[in-house]
Amino acid sequence: MKLNRRTFAKLAGGAAAAGVAGGSTHAGAAETGAGLFGAKAVDSAVGGTHGSVDADERRRLVSKAVFGEKELAQGNAGMVICAHPLATRAGTDILRAGGNAADAALAASVTQTVVEPHMTGITGVLSLLYYDASTGKSSYVNGGMNRPMADLVGWGPNALASGLGAAVPGFWAGYEASRERFGSKPSKDLCAAAIAYARDGFEIHPFLWGEMFMQANMLGSTKEGREIFFPGGAILDPGELLVQKRAADTLERLAEDGNDYFYRGGFAEEYCQVVQEAGGVTTREDFERYDVRFDEPAYGSYRDYQLVGSPPPDHGGTHIIEILQMIELLDLQKLGPVTDSPELLWQMARICTQVFNEGGRHRDPKYHPMPLETITSKEYAQIRFDLLQMDTPLEKAPAPPPGSCHVTAVDEQGNVATILHSCMSLPWSNGLFAGGVTVVASGAHYFRVMPGPGERATVYVAPNFIMKDDKPLLASGSPSGSLLQNIVQNATNMLDFGMSIDESTLRPRFGNAYTAGGGMFQAVESDFPTTTREGAVERGLVVGVVNPWNFGMGSFEAIWIDPETGQRSACGDPRRNAMAEAT
């Protein structure tokens, strides 16, 4: 019998069953979404501009941008998965036009800055882990943000609501470096869909509208925010078209002039002026000295699999290696999957917490020595595991608020790209705009690890590959403060217990849930079997209970590549608005 959500409802009791009904309601919205995205949008519908789909197909795809169960995608050629159907389609269209995995992932990422402006933006970050099938080599591009050179005078909790929380963006440099090193298509092709949706508009999906509503005070605090999101004096409604004409102009200019415009031209000038007028310290010199990095990935192993992950200062991939090498010391076949085993839930939750907490001491290894080989060694994993068995429950370290996107793509030739790009903060934290795009408060991550002046920020983004015989078997990543728990739970479900990617993605999870004020606490979803949760609590786990398919548990943006047949499989996570599509 397939272990789906309804199976777990029987195991978890009446409360979970009620949660299942809620999940089914969300899933059903995908079938009836045309009603939401039809009436208001019909009169202003536009035909397909170059790079976009026609109006009917656009509305059909946006109607899939809902929470709840998603369709499994399978195929033997190209595939893309990310958290918005329009962006997924932008990626698969690039694959159909002859682009490779890097092209597809980059096109989807730029499109997400337009259709998911609450989660990402070109003033944020973009980092890529890439596998080249012709050479068998994995490479990493770090397009993280830099702290400005000037002192952050007045830094504190209120900084993110001002220009002081704005860092030096790395998104566009990461995009350009990835395209030039690994891509095959010109920037105008990769940006075409994003430009079209910015200029002509797209229907506002429920998740975007909810974030707009929650942040309406900030969105409405500036003239440009009001022009975009309050064009008639009131906030736009779900299903209405969101038009971002200045963003379209900016993207068109970037597609032509790239880094020259972003880091050395008009965009840098406007960004710095806006930020400084709002109390920030970012300067043109900060922009001009920005350097994208080509870093060697971090490596490790888990049982008979090879692990490849993002290296410090993008140390989430390194954390995945650390966590899995500690979990390897447990007898998972005896314990069973985490949903069935109080002992594994107790151990896995503490391991993830310990690795995350210790990561708060890591800084940019370009400026601060870091023994990466020691951190990712089996010997260190054993020492940490043994010491952990003596510990009481670990206190959770402060974590930055959610706000990011992950994209994974594979092409017919077997090249694989997985990208994390992000606003690195809550949506529209400061209400500022430059060039029609939001100025993100990526300095939120300074509260975890404060970089020195001009240094690259340390962030726990986690693009990663799990390899079998030196070829990618599972390429994945996730947004949210639960990305470590998300990836590790899904990886062990699939590698150790043979679950399909869709079965694993739908399973209940533990991770970090968020309070209304952006705080974080350790939680399990309410359809997590009660006996498992209670058994872990008896061992000392401090955990709350939240709704099924909780937003804070992240979104598993992963592709499984069958080592025998080469078939690709992916399934959108019900906790976000994801869609997977095969070519």
Q: What is the 3-state secondary structure (H, E, C) of 442-511?
A: HHHHHHCCCCCCCCECCECCCCEEEEECCEEEEEECCCCCCHHHHHHHHHHHHHHHCCCHHHHHHCCCEE
**Minimal CA–CA distance to 536: which of 353, 381, 383, 378?**
353
pLDDT of residue 9: 37
Whole-angstrom Cα distance, residue 37 to residue 34? 5
Q: Which residues contact 32 (CB under 8 A, 6 or more apart)?
A: none
Contact 439, 218 (CB under 8 A): no
pLDDT of residue 455: 97
pLDDT of residue 397: 56
Q: Which residues contact 270 (CB under 8 A, 6 or more apart)?
A: 434, 435
- Alpha-carbon Rg of the chain, whole angstroms? 22
Contact 274, 433 (CB under 8 A): yes
SS3 label, residue 540: coil
pLDDT truncated to tens, each residue of the chain (583 aa)?
334 443 433 333 333 333 332 333 333 333 334 455 554 443 333 334 457 789 999 999 999 999 999 999 999 999 999 999 999 999 999 999 999 999 999 999 999 999 999 999 999 999 999 999 999 999 999 999 999 999 999 999 899 999 999 999 999 999 999 999 999 999 999 999 999 999 999 999 999 999 999 999 999 999 999 999 999 999 999 999 999 999 999 999 999 999 999 999 999 999 999 999 999 999 999 999 999 999 999 999 999 999 999 999 999 999 999 999 999 999 999 999 999 999 999 999 999 999 998 888 888 888 888 899 999 999 999 999 999 998 766 666 555 566 799 999 999 999 999 999 999 998 999 999 999 999 999 999 999 899 999 999 999 899 999 999 999 999 999 998 899 999 999 999 999 999 999 999 999 999 999 887 767 899 999 999 999 999 999 999 999 999 999 999 999 999 999 999 999 999 999 999 999 999 9
Domains of the chain, by residue range, sit at 20-295+398-462+570-582, 298-388
Helices (H), ranges, 215-315: 216-219, 223-229, 245-257, 259-264, 266-277, 284-288
Count CB atoms within 10 A of the CB of residue 42.
Answer: 12
Whole-angstrom Cα distance, residue 12 to residue 6? 10
SS3 label, residue 113: helix
Complete DSSP assignment for 295-323: EPPEEEEETTEEEEEPPTTBTHHHHHHHH
Q: Provide φ and ψ at 471, rounded to 5°.
A: -125, 145
**Minimal CA–CA distance to 190: which of 409, 384, 367, 8?**
409
Whole-angstrom Cα distance, residue 131 to residue 116? 27
**pTM surpassing 0.75?**
yes
Contact 304, 297 (CB under 8 A): no
298-388 under CATH 1.10.246.130, yes or no: yes
**Minimal CA–CA distance to 120: which of 517, 398, 312, 402?**
402
Q: Which residues contact 493 (CB under 8 A, 6 or more apart)?
A: 337, 338, 499, 503, 504, 507
pLDDT of residue 400: 58
Q: 398 vs 166, 447, 513, CA distance in Å?
A: 20, 8, 13
pLDDT of residue 392: 67
* Strands 520-525 and 544-546, sheet pairing: parallel
Q: Which residues contact 368 (CB under 8 A, 6 or more apart)?
A: none
pLDDT of residue 27: 34
Whole-angstrom Cα distance, residue 137 to residue 228? 43
454: exposed, middle or buried (Cβ count in 10 Å: 0-12, 13-18, 19+): middle
Helix (H) or strand (E) holding 325: helix 316-327
In the numeric block, which tokens belong to residue 544? 């709350």
